[in-house]
Amino acid sequence: MKIGSVTNPKIILFTPYFKQNRGNSTTARRFVKGLRMWGVSVRIFAYEEEEWNSDWDSYFLEADIYHVIHLKRFSQWLKKYPHLHFSKPYILTSGGTDVNEDLKDPDAVKLMVSVADESCGITVFSEDGKNKIIQTYPDLADRIYVIPQSVDFPKDGTKESNRDILSGYPKFLLPAGLRPVKDVLYVADELKRLRYTWQELTFTIIGPVLDDGVYQEVQEFEKEHEWFRYIKEVPLEQMKAVYQSCDFVLNTSISEGQSSAVLEAMALGKPVIARLNSGNASVLSDGETGVLFESPEQFTLKVQELLTSEGKQKSIIKKAILYIKEQHSLEKEMGQFLEVYEHCLANAYV
């Protein structure tokens, strides 16, 4: 494999998480599969899960290019290792939190810019993400690339993950780690009201505990409602079976970069009902490929409309599947990343 003037390039992928089932790990695993699909040599370092050592010092020196996921987290980690000097080109991939939340904090911006200044490319999932970075730091405009996420499921694992999904209809699933920005109980009271009409309705949240306060709220809600269940975490390999066991997938995040869960649900033919934010709006067209709502009350109205129209559900499913195939394939995503790599390596070795 040759990228630019470099034959068989060696890449180190820095990601905050790789083992834990989180958005960053989903992205990282997909990158690794895609790069290896193209015959590229890649090593993965999960900087929030692993300890840097002398072996990694050697790999770092041997690498031709570095790829970093999450600007703020990586900036904070790098401060602990002042001996690491990026003399080779590196690419930054910004997800959701570092664009939508961290850019509101001047201290975080200063930290992120310290890393971004010397990068050869910054990738974001949507035009909105690009615009937010440019508004904060216009000098980075010429190195920002918009590369939408793709959908790629690992090989199916066991279907044991279905055992905790409550039966009934309609079954609502919300895949998200428990933290304030995900606002997982945002429509809980509305679902409670919908049960007066749809008495078999159930609600399941799946995701790791990332905030003790949110976890406590979810536990309290579960104690009070037998139709709600919280499942801490399911291996990524089993999530396909989880999606298939439910009827509708929810996203209630205050902000999103571009939700892997939303894309995965669309790909598997599950109607997505999502809170309106820039990330969700970048992949969902209201009433066409999914449903977007702006308030809990509007959520109820749109859910009622969807539940009483099988034709509407089928239309959304059909359009969503087609959209994912055309716009979010792994081949397309990795082809765009290879173009960025080629640009960076070509400029590094002129």
Per residue in 267-276, pLDDT (tens digit) is 999 999 999 9
The pLDDT assigned to 21 comes to 75
The pLDDT assigned to 303 comes to 97
β-partners of residue 35 are none
pLDDT exceeds 90 at position 257 = no
From CA 90, how far away is CA 81, in angstroms rounded? 17
Q: What is the mean pLDDT of residues 330-350?
A: 84
Q: What is the mean pLDDT of residues 29-36?
A: 88
Q: What is the mean pLDDT of residues 161-173?
A: 81
* Residue pair 300/170 in contact by the 8 Å Cβ criterion: no
From CA 129, how far away is CA 99, in angstroms rounded? 6
From CA 265, how far away is CA 274, in angstroms rounded? 12
Side chain identity at 93, as an amino acid letter? T
The pLDDT assigned to 233 comes to 82
From CA 17, how far away is CA 11, in angstroms rounded? 17
| CATH 3.40.50.2000 intervals, the chain | 2-150+329-348, 160-327
Per residue in 227-256, pLDDT (tens digit) is 999 998 888 888 899 999 999 999 999 988
Residue 310, token pair as written in the block: 């099988």
H/E element, 102: none
pLDDT exceeds 80 at position 209 = yes
The pLDDT assigned to 37 comes to 82
E strands in the chain: 2-3, 6-7, 10-15, 41-46, 65-69, 90-93, 121-124, 144-146, 171-175, 202-206, 228-231, 248-251, 272-275, 291-293
Where helices occur in 117-187 by DSSP H, the ranges are 127-136
- The better pLDDT of the pair 96, 312 is held by 312
Domain 2-150+329-348 matching CATH 3.40.50.2000: the answer reads: yes
Q: CB 321: neighbour CB atoms within 10 A?
A: 15
Per-residue pLDDT band for 197 (boundaries 50, 70, 90) equals: very high
Per-residue pLDDT band for 157 (boundaries 50, 70, 90) equals: low
Q: What is the mean pLDDT of residues 98-123?
A: 74
- The better pLDDT of the pair 260, 95 is held by 260
pLDDT exceeds 70 at position 350 = no
pLDDT exceeds 80 at position 164 = no
Most confident of 126-130, 133-137, 139-143, 177-181: 177-181
The pLDDT assigned to 284 comes to 96
The pLDDT assigned to 300 comes to 98
Q: What would the DSSP string read from start to end of 58-101?
A: HHHHH-SEEEEE-HHHHHHHHTT-TT----S-EEEE--SHHHHT
Q: What is the mean pLDDT of residues 84-107?
A: 76
Closest CA to 279 of 130, 92, 102: 130
pLDDT exceeds 90 at position 6 = no
Q: What is the mean pLDDT of residues 54-64?
A: 94
Closest CA to 275 of 267, 266, 284: 284
Per-residue pLDDT band for 309 (boundaries 50, 70, 90) equals: very high
Per-residue pLDDT band for 99 (boundaries 50, 70, 90) equals: low
The pLDDT assigned to 101 comes to 63
Per-residue pLDDT band for 123 (boundaries 50, 70, 90) equals: very high
CATH number, domain 160-327: 3.40.50.2000
Q: Among 9-13, 104-108, 137-141, 157-161, whose mean pLDDT is lowest?
A: 157-161
Closest CA to 177 of 248, 251, 244, 126: 251
pLDDT exceeds 70 at position 199 = yes
Average pLDDT, the chain: 89
